Structure 1
Amino acid sequence: MKYLRIGQPGYETPVALHEGRYYDLSGPIGDIDGTFLQRGIATTAGFPEIDISGQRIAPPISRPNAIVCIGMNYAAHCAESGVEPPAEPVVFYKHPNTIVGPEDDVEIPRRSTRTDWEVELGVVFNKRVSYLESEAEALDCIAGFVVANDLSEREFQIERSGGQFSKGKACPTFTPLGPWLVTPDEIADVQGLRMWSKVNGEGRQDSSSKDMIFGVAHLIWHMSQFMAFDAGDLLLTGTPEGVALSGRFPYLKAGDVVEVGIDGLGSTANPTVQA
């Protein structure tokens, strides 16, 4: 099953995409949020079909309580950034109000000269997750997977960080998501997904989730020893090589279109504008 939301901000309609058809969930379902994701739906029977032509595609989940992010989690990205791979997952937070839809405008922050892209695999939870006993328990906690662009302002993140990443990560519009939240049964191997990004149609990142230093199950288990996730929360699992920070590509500027995608999860394509 794929879940999505359509409509203008504040007026989104929850939708299911199943076998090529769209179904309106708005009758019994309030939104694609933690309450819904604790149970999901087993079938689209009884839900009316809907035509989504011409509709804005919204973020596929409503605002989570938290966006927890993992930094430096791909071996080749560590190498291009000139840092040693971490011994434990590096963690930072983004504000939930950074989430926008897969085709919404992304704002280049004021005074920014180093706005960067990062394709990431996002994990959304279906229950409260705390003190898991093993990695084997982790995959049962996943409501679905989503494509994310973890946009970053590198000067804010590095030179002006104060010792942490969030200044360069939490600017408005810096977390495009979508188009779908894809349930785990549709993903055969979460550690074998091709991931890519483009700017103005030109390739940037082209890698796979198999390059993760810490896999998805390990990240969920590890983080559950330090914090509790709630149903509907979002975990971003890191980005592969090919970002502007590498020095191989120019940073984003107003007027660019930045795309990110993951096999089986779809893609985003966001125009950039000046804040």
Structure 2
Amino acid sequence: MELLRLGEPGQEIPVVRVGGTTFDLRGLTTDITGAFLGADGIQRVRDALAAGELPELKHAASLRVGAPLTGIGAVVCIGQNYAAHAAETGDLPPKAPIIFFKHPNTVVGAYDDVVIPPGAQKVDWEVELAVVIGKRASYLASAEEALDCIAGFTISNDVSERDYQMGHSGGQWSKGKCAPTFNPLGPALVPAAEVTDPQALRLYSAVNGEPRQDSTTADMVFGVGEIIRDLSQYLALDPGDVVNTGTPEGVALSGRFPYLSVGDTMTLGIKGLGEQQQRLVGS
């Protein structure tokens, strides 16, 4: 079961896809939001499917794929959370999760264009496992308790401008992360119950068809449950918030690959969660 939003920006239809069939969710909700997820929305979708209450959306394949949820309150990100990625940037693995933020308006659909800001020279790709919160996470006592707060998982591209990140941010990173379109998300939100082990997922990326990243979430310094538990000690995560859990090695920052240019195409995927692709365009 996958939750998606299909249609032009601002006009997306909430749907659920099971196998090769896409069902319209507008009888249950006007959209896929934190409020819907927090009100046991995923179970309501399962119940409606089991009861045969959802009509098929016949023209689904012809529609744009939007981000799999809307009304996101926060996009919280974890830096250098893969041991090999920390090494390729010249750093030791962090002793505690490194936190930075992206503006929610960076989020676009999985196949939407990514816009290079005026004058930007060091635009980089980052495939990441994204966590979508389904229940308020605040002062959690354990990683197990944290995992219970997750609605589902999706794919995130934490697009970054490295000069802005390193040279302009005063050590805070977010200036290099927050340009509009810098967080393609999706294509689908996969319920947490259908991801057997979030620490055993293969992630990969390519630029213009040439391989870049290829790793697994087993290389995370801090696992998904520990990330959410740790964050909950410093801030409350609400339903619909997104947590980007870090990227593996193989980015342009490593010096092994050129940075992105207008006309380049990024392809990113996570086994079991699908694949996304974006084209770089000028501002």
Q: TM-score range by the shorter chain?
A: over 0.9
In structure 2, the partner of 1:50 is: 57
Give the match's secondary structure for 1:226: coil
Within 2, Cα distance between the matches of 1:233 and 1:242?
27
In structure 2, the partner of 1:37 is: 37
- Counterpart check, 1:24 vs 2:40: no
Report the Cα offset of residue 193 of structure 1.
0.4
Within 2, Cα distance between the matches of 1:28 and 1:46?
10
Q: What is the percent sequence identity of the aligned residues?
A: 54
Within 1, Cα distance between the matches of 2:164 and 2:26?
40
In structure 2, the partner of 1:257 is: 265
Query: Where does structure 2 lack aligned partners over 5 or more consecutive residues?
Result: none
In structure 1, the partner of 2:157 is: 149
Within 1, Cα distance between the matches of 2:224 and 2:86?
18
- Counterpart check, 1:159 vs 2:167: yes
Within 1, Cα distance between the matches of 2:98 and 2:244?
12
Within 2, Cα distance between the matches of 1:215 and 1:151?
22
Deviating above 4 A after TM superposition, structure 1's stretches of 4 or more consecutive aligned residues are none
Report the Cα offset of residue 109 of structure 1.
1.1
Within 2, Cα distance between the matches of 1:64 and 1:85?
29
Report the Cα offset of residue 27 of structure 1.
2.3
Q: Deviation string for 1:51-80 (max 9, x for gaps)?
A: 212110000011310000000100000000
Query: Where does structure 1 lack aligned partners over 5 or more consecutive residues?
Result: none
Give the match's secondary structure for 1:57: coil
- Counterpart check, 1:233 vs 2:238: no
Count matched residues. Answer: 275
CA contact (8 A) 1:260 1:269 kept: yes
CA contact (8 A) 1:63 1:97 kept: no
- Counterpart check, 1:99 vs 2:107: yes
Q: Deviation string for 1:110-155 (max 9, x for gaps)?
A: 1111000000000001111101111110111110000000000000
User: Structure 1: which amino acid aligns with 2:55?
Assistant: P
Report the Cα offset of residue 83 of structure 1.
0.9
In structure 1, the partner of 2:256 is: 248
Aligned CA RMSD, in angstroms, stands at 0.8
Within 2, Cα distance between the matches of 1:116 and 1:253?
10
Within 2, Cα distance between the matches of 1:121 and 1:28?
28
In structure 2, the partner of 1:202 is: 210
In structure 2, the partner of 1:108 is: 116
Give the match's secondary structure for 1:217: helix
Report the Cα offset of residue 215 of structure 1.
0.2
Within 2, Cα distance between the matches of 1:274 and 1:203?
24
Give the match's secondary structure for 2:9: coil
In structure 2, the partner of 1:62 is: 70
User: Structure 1: which amino acid aligns with 2:77?
Assistant: C
In structure 2, the partner of 1:80 is: 88
